[in-house]
Structure 1
Amino acid sequence: MKKVQTKTCDVAVIGGGPGGLPAAIRAARMGKKTILVERNSFLGGTAASGLGILGYLDRQGRKALGGIAQELIDRLTGYGGAIGHYPCPVHNSITPISPDWFKIVAVEMCREAGVEVLFNSELLDATIENGRVVCAEVYGKCTRTLIEAKVYIDGTGDGDLAYMAGARYMSGQDGTGIMQPCTLMFTVTNYNLEKFLDFAEQSPENFGIKEDYAKGYDPTFFRASRGHCFIGMDELIKKAKAKGDFHVPRNQFIHITTPVDGMLAINTSRIIEIDASDPYQLSKGLEEGYLQVRELMAFMNKYLPGFEQAQLAGISPTLGVRETRHFVGVKRLTHETMYAPETKREAVAQSAYNIDIHSGVKDHIDLTPVAEPFGIPYGCLVPESLNGLLLSGRTISVDTQVFASARVMGPCIAVGEAAGTAAAMSVDKGIELRDVDVGALRATLRENGNLF
């Protein structure tokens, strides 16, 4: 028999990843009764995959994120789960983290703030009355829970709550609907990085980033930087493909250092032509990801100097999804308005990462450096015609180019804190989310250390 229970709260956050976690923490810290619903048995989402976080520093090496985003790293560092922010000629910066310590720190911060976390619970339905979300129904362990909140925040990544509530959206890239590919991250041990870098130094044709913006992206840089993201081995992959040993639709090998000595995160799998908001396609994508990990381990052992004895250490518990639904907000930030005065005046978060578009149908990446951080206006978080709900993370209202920068974890965390702050202010004032005073919101965010 299914149990049914009802919970009431001020703020309900659906999804405990980079967009939802900081929202819940900030709302609770502002005195609001907050429930955080997470479908997995851990918090962190993509941050629990082994992938380093992008977006903490801008192209000049200046700090671009503060607030909860920086607090997470400070706490992780105290446990040995982070090693700082490292400038990068290609990615602007990389912040390696331990996925397991991130899970612990996430729970620690939620517990301290008074967030009620509901693990292993999936969003089932939403109830709308007079254009307002009034209930989110979740299900887990034979129990249906009806969450009646004053306001809701969608931190699901795919915008599941907004979708169920009927908010207008589009899927994939503007004009084509093609979605950026997915990746299944995994980690390896028992490798010799010096041997690998010696080989890279002796074979410059195996460096995959040759554009002008990548000046200094060479073995000297990788040896000097404890935190780095290596991209290359193009010619070795061509050789492996010619011999039938490489079928992953990718022409470059990518590894990312981690805070754990002797462990690398591998970001080389590539699952194309799937819509991860569809459960059947998501399942097929996961199947393909696991088989790609098997093939990539064989490739590393056979072809990569220094990785002859490399061993698989772990596989991400979730598929890394770059893109699915984009919702239409009160405001839509575009490439043309990224640096407009109005954007700067209304910004509640910012992105310092580059415009990074992965082709969803072939092996190709269009990367355009972002010289200066750009602001993300509050209106991008507010659905155009739905009350009681805020968008967070990668579901916000932006065009393809802006999304390609703002989709990474750093900006998503900043947007999440902005959403949680706005939600608390809305409850305090007894007003609609769309009526929150942006000036007051910005001031509160700055008081809490946020940068924009």
Structure 2
Amino acid sequence: MKYDVIVCGAGPSGIVAAISAKRNHAQVLLVETSGLLGGNSVLSLVGPWMTFHNHQDQIIKGIGEEIVKRLQAKGYSFGHLPDPLGFADSITPVDVEGIKEVFFDYIREEGIDLLLHAFVCDVISEQNTILGVKVATKSGFLDLYGTIVIDATGDGDVCALMGCETVFGRQSDHLAQPMSMLFSVNNVDLPRLKAFLKANADDVIMKDDYDYHYLAIAGFFKKVQEAKDAGEFDLIRDRVLLFQDVQAKQVSINMTRVQQLSGIDAFELTKAEMEGRLQIKKAFAFLKKYIPGFENSMIVRTPYRIGVRETRHVIGEYIMQVEDILNRREFDDSICLSAFPIDIHSPHSEQLELFEQSEDKCYEIPLRVLIPKGKNNLVVTGRCVSATHEANASLRVTPSVMALGEAAGVLAALCVQRGLTPKDLDYRLVQKQLVKQGQIIKKVALKKS
């Protein structure tokens, strides 16, 4: 089987990469390990999506924005809302079932070939040039050939199989951000919960002008400490973190933290799955006893797999640095913008490690982070692009990786058309096409709009 472009991994970044490559006239195969599309947004219940904005400016558009508009039109999203916590400049609640429906619709409409239940277990290569991938399926092992292969696995699996240089976690000690197992709770008495929130406004993090229209909570620190003192809460968390779901009376809970286990070690990942489910039980018991509004609630959804924040960082033609983000750097070969704060969940404590950043957080991401160093015809997108631990903590979020995926798809398709490797293609061709597709690639474009 021979394709122009093979995309490995059907998370938001991989799906957008596949759509982008197909719209640029490439024959595309999308390969996914599970039976679902949506990656962490579906399999790990990661949401809401944040952030598409820097202040009032929308900085991520293109295919990612197109997807949001479709979800919103179908009643599967509230669209972009101000973040009640004041952490990001916007959040975009999305419904998990809606994501599944819309992503499968896109695959059919765009004419993208899809192979589910296919695990990439090896690469087909000649020296430093990738020719395709070998996948394990119910049909046995299959050899899939592609002119360009995009690694959208999130863990850099294809790149690792190709022998690319990678760094696991942070450079100093190779610890990674913890994994978390989110879950959804229904039949929550939202008016009662909001009343409790208002009565304890000094014990939560929120914007000064929060109007309680959309419910998001980060706090109730005193209640968490009270439960810990009573021996009824032993999770490595100091707060309740939840967001209102699109479904009525439903919230998404992010209170679990599984630390110092590897998301790319099969045995440790299994241990993390078991620990995550145990923590869900403990977190839910705490909510029912200590937080008004949860008395008659029930868990209605747990994830297919634990949410992994960080594993490998693929070393590319450029490594995104924390200084690039703090200094809001601009690059000649910028292919998208991002503005999510540097958000590091501590690998070894209950703390969040934050950097002091200016109110204007918008920075550019260069095309070179998508090009693994020393390899030909291989592109990487998603959270495992070439970035340090600290820089990754900003650009790993869903809107940003969708923008990266759109650029990866354009890059791959143009390389096929011109018979060039990603490193040799003129970056200006990618930029020109991204602008045609409605993406914002330079900060200067915001000043003109």
Partner of 1:45: 39
Q: Which residue of 2 aligns with 1:436?
A: 425
Q: Answer yes or no: is the 8 Å Cα contact 1:382–1:433 preserved in 2.
A: yes
**TM-aligned CA deviation for residue 448 of structure 1:** 0.2
TM-score normalised by the chain length of structure 2: 0.94
Correspondent of 1:140 among 132, 137, 142: 137
In 2: Cα distance, 1:294 partner to 1:261 partner:
23
| Contact in 1 for aligned 2:325/2:361 (Cα 8 Å) | no
- Superposed CA RMSD in Å reads 1.6
- Pairwise mapping of residues 231-270 of structure 1 onto structure 2 (< 5 A)? 231-270=218-257
- Which secondary structure does the structure 2 equivalent of 1:94 belong to? coil
Aligned residues: 435
> What is the CA–CA distance in structure 2 between the aligned matches of 1:45 and 1:36, rounded to whole Å?
13
Q: Deviations over 1:390-434 (max 9, x none)?
A: 010011111222211101111010000100010000000000111
Asked if the contact 2:46–2:307 (Cα under 8 Å) also holds between the matched residues in 1, the reply is no
Matched, 1:347 2:343: no
2:414 paired residue among 409, 419, 425: 425
Q: 1:339 offset after TM fit, Å?
A: 7.4
Question: What is the SS of the residue equivalent to 2:375?
Answer: coil
Give structure 2 stretches of 5+ with no counterpart: 442-449
CA offsets 1:103-127 (integer angstroms, 9 cap, x no match)? 1111111111111111111111112
- SS of 1:394's partner is coil
User: What's the offset of the Cα at 1:128?
Assistant: 2.2
Shift of 1:318: 2.0
Which residue among 21, 30, 53 is the counterpart of 1:57?
53
Does 1:118 pair with 2:115? yes
Distance 2:425 2:306 in 1: 35
Distance in 2 between the 1:159 and 1:298 partners? 36
Tell whether the 8 Å contact from 1:181 to 1:321 is kept in structure 2 after alignment.
yes
Residues 57 and 87 in structure 1, CA contact (< 8 A), matched pair in contact too? no
AA partner of residue 258 (structure 2): I
Gap change, CA 1:147 and 1:222, over 3 Å in 2: farther
Which residue does the alignment assign to 1:4?
Answer: none
2:97 aligned with 1:100 = yes
8 Å Cα contact 2:324-2:363 kept in structure 1: no
| Paired residue secondary structure (1:383) | coil
Which of residues 194, 197, 201 in structure 1 aligns to 2:198? 201
Shift of 1:204: 3.8
1:382: which partner in 2? 371
Give per-residue Cα distances to partners, 1:33-74, cap 9 Å, x unaligned. 11011011111111111521012111x121111111001111
Task: Determine what percentage of the aligned residue pairs are the same residue.
Answer: 29
> How many Å separate the matches in 2 of 1:180 and 1:380?
20
CA shift for structure 1 position 205: 4.6
In the alignment, what sits opposite 1:359?
346
Q: Which of 139, 157, 161 is the matching residue for 1:164?
A: 161
* Per-residue deviation, 1:91: 2.2
How far apart, CA to CA, are the structure 2 residues paired with 1:330 and 1:172?
19
Distance (Å, rounded) in 1 between the aligned partners of 2:77 and 2:301: 18
Q: 193-202 or 153-162: which moved more? A: 193-202
Q: 1:18 aligns with which of 12, 16, 22?
A: 12
Letter in 2 for 1:398: A
Structure 1-normalised TM-score?
0.93
Q: Provide closer, same or farther for how the CA distance between residues 137 and 78 of structure 1 changes in structure 2, counting only shifts above 3 A.
A: same
Distance between the aligned counterparts of 2:59 and 2:244, measured in 1?
Answer: 21
